Structure 1
């Protein structure tokens, strides 16, 4: 049997993932219901959700027509009549609040090995459900995404050649994206790939023009396609006994958590960090919700902040300069088990990105893994408060490292006991 770490790296490097569907979540999973939603990050009690996640739940109740007004939705929440569970437990990843309801339109990805993952379509960086907005504009956009854009894209997928999603990310890196917070080129490449199929759909010209204009006007549109692929490859890399490689990072705005291949679905958590963000005009640090979302699955899979040397333009969005980007990528190599064979950085002579955060290396070096992430305003519906490069404290990685050592000692003791039985 191969070394556990290498076995995990092989899965991260070699798992093929293709776009399967774009449809409503109720058609992709049985893990959602009219009053049961998925959320970002580790498990969280309904009463503890931060402001933007509460706003997203209000939006979800209105979208599902379980409530006729925001006040009615708030009363449903306050009575505890909504249940929530982590996206990661359903094979999903949700940006920011990550609330997924039955009628949320989602991107569905899959592997030949039967792994299926999904993520909500990106609404744009203004007011959006993932930031806690629940006004009429947000709800109208969500319904249009679910009733017009998603079916059009789903038909386009059926009428197109299979779309290799890791290859889409790799192309984005070649074109100057990091594929987490900068996806301008990736979105353009995605639109090019889907346009022949869109032209074969039954959409009338006006709806087709609106669909194309929405995608072209949203530089983050490709995000759920990228992170659905990342979730698929990290799921394929999960469950390798003894492997110290991280397979999930996520935050619910209260706690930041990681999962490790050799430790299954167990979460190791720390208080959600804030970092040192670039704030939007008028915002202060007091306005910021601590890190929230599942989209740091990008870094877990070897892109995002781990590929920032491929995306110099992102530094104006998250803070810093090209030298800082190079330093971050260099430091991430010191805590990773290997190098990506498909996510290559042109500015480093096409060297692969750092791949496979190794909890033993994080514990030994004290080097904090980093993500680049958006930050939501703490008040529902106020949208994005900023973005930045956020170091993740060493504590959960060190705890996972110790847990792996303890599991190894227990396994060896059991083997010795069995040999003497």
Structure 2
């Protein structure tokens, strides 16, 4: 193993990440502002955004009171009066459409070295801004998340012992989650961890009951905590000269892109795939937006599809059986440079998950890496249509491998 690869794996294996705050995005970054929002995936022009991203921006304009109606929000978009930039450029990750506005409530994580990352609080799997919904129910929930839930959680964090987010993911894997599309046990662990702090907070009894009920009833609630940690770990592993390890994978509904440690912030992209989804009743493949979101940062940090054998129950959600789960994890072991020392799979005798997707290995083997992901309707406002297992075309991995080889040769 080359020294750059080893250095990257050491960062992935050794970076500690703790929960710092739950707050509004404007208090976590200066990369959002009036009519400037963040989005998931590689850079995309406003004119090219897919339906769910358009719906998310409509919701954002309404949330921020930049528009008084859906029609007004659409006119603002159509006149090019909104600017957008990738979450990844702000040290953030957003699930699905990934729209982040100044008042979006976010989870903030921090490494021991001071790297800070954030991700929007999870709204549940029904109508949600991340799926492109903008109805009054979605907006009311977003306001409640910002006005009640976020301050309550932030106060609970303040009253709690330091919360190790990598340890939270590791415990989730031990309890049957993959920590990307299944987080039932991880959410329960998080709620138990935060409850003493919630009880010490200034919340009145009714608000406390509502907060606990919301978290307990949302099996995906822990997702932003997990992927904020993943973003922090992969940021710490970025910028290692000559390293072929992937540090980001993300889609914007048009393109799917990767970043590689040794190539900095450069994106290598391909047309976003659709995969093999399990669709909600009544939906068809024609309804599906191609792969979108930043939550595939989970796979770059050693969980999600790389830990499918830890989460048998996820197969009913994304499709397939345990034989497929085992095949996917085996496949990813061949494409990864190492093994996690912290993320262990009980069903594999506590073997660590595959860690560090290596673009040189992908290129040499010609094997497509795999993620699992949620899916949104192509049209704004239509919401979630399913979830699935998606193989990522090898072209961006091959292009990154070739670029890294050329750069290494130039330095000699």
Do Structure 1 and Structure 2 share a fold, with TM-score over 0.5? Answer: yes
Give the gaps of 5 or more residues in structure 2: none
- Following the alignment from structure 1 to structure 2, what is the Cα–Cα distance between the partners of residues 400 and 123? 35
Alignment partner, residue 371 of structure 1: 371
1:253 aligns with 2:243: no
Larger Rg: 1
**How many correspondences in the alignment?**
411
SS state at 1:108 partner: strand
Alignment partner, residue 418 of structure 1: none
- Following the alignment from structure 1 to structure 2, what is the Cα–Cα distance between the partners of residues 252 and 67? 24
- Following the alignment from structure 2 to structure 1, what is the Cα–Cα distance between the partners of residues 76 and 328? 45
SS state at 1:106 partner: strand
Alignment partner, residue 361 of structure 2: 361
Alignment partner, residue 55 of structure 1: 55
- Following the alignment from structure 2 to structure 1, what is the Cα–Cα distance between the partners of residues 359 and 67? 44
- Following the alignment from structure 2 to structure 1, what is the Cα–Cα distance between the partners of residues 375 and 296? 13
Cα displacement (A) at 1:114: 1.1
- Following the alignment from structure 2 to structure 1, what is the Cα–Cα distance between the partners of residues 283 and 67? 31
Cα displacement (A) at 1:138: 0.4
SS state at 1:117 partner: strand
1:7 aligns with 2:12: no
SS state at 1:277 partner: strand
Alignment partner, residue 409 of structure 2: 409
- Following the alignment from structure 1 to structure 2, what is the Cα–Cα distance between the partners of residues 112 and 347? 31
Q: How does 1:156-305 map to 2 (within 5 A)?
A: 156-305=156-305
The C-alpha deviation readout for 1:188-245, integer Å capped at 9, x for no partner, is 0000000000000000000000000000000000000000000000000000000000
Cα displacement (A) at 1:170: 0.2
Cα displacement (A) at 1:381: 1.6
- Following the alignment from structure 2 to structure 1, what is the Cα–Cα distance between the partners of residues 74 and 34? 15
- Following the alignment from structure 2 to structure 1, what is the Cα–Cα distance between the partners of residues 320 and 56? 31
Cα displacement (A) at 1:384: 1.1
Alignment partner, residue 419 of structure 1: none
Give the gaps of 5 or more residues in structure 1: 413-421
The C-alpha deviation readout for 1:162-189, integer Å capped at 9, x for no partner, is 0000000000000000000000000000
Alignment partner, residue 143 of structure 1: 143
Cα displacement (A) at 1:379: 1.0
Cα displacement (A) at 1:34: 1.5
SS state at 1:270 partner: strand
Alignment partner, residue 118 of structure 2: 118
Cα displacement (A) at 1:394: 0.4
Alignment partner, residue 18 of structure 2: 18
1:380 aligns with 2:372: no
Q: How does 1:340-355 map to 2 (within 5 A)?
A: 340-355=340-355
- Following the alignment from structure 1 to structure 2, what is the Cα–Cα distance between the partners of residues 130 and 331? 30
- Following the alignment from structure 2 to structure 1, what is the Cα–Cα distance between the partners of residues 308 and 383? 25
SS state at 1:118 partner: strand
The C-alpha deviation readout for 1:46-80, integer Å capped at 9, x for no partner, is 01000010000000000000000000000000110
- Following the alignment from structure 1 to structure 2, what is the Cα–Cα distance between the partners of residues 161 and 380? 41
Cα displacement (A) at 1:382: 1.2
Alignment partner, residue 391 of structure 1: 391
Tell me the TM-score normalized by structure 1: 0.97
SS state at 1:408 partner: helix
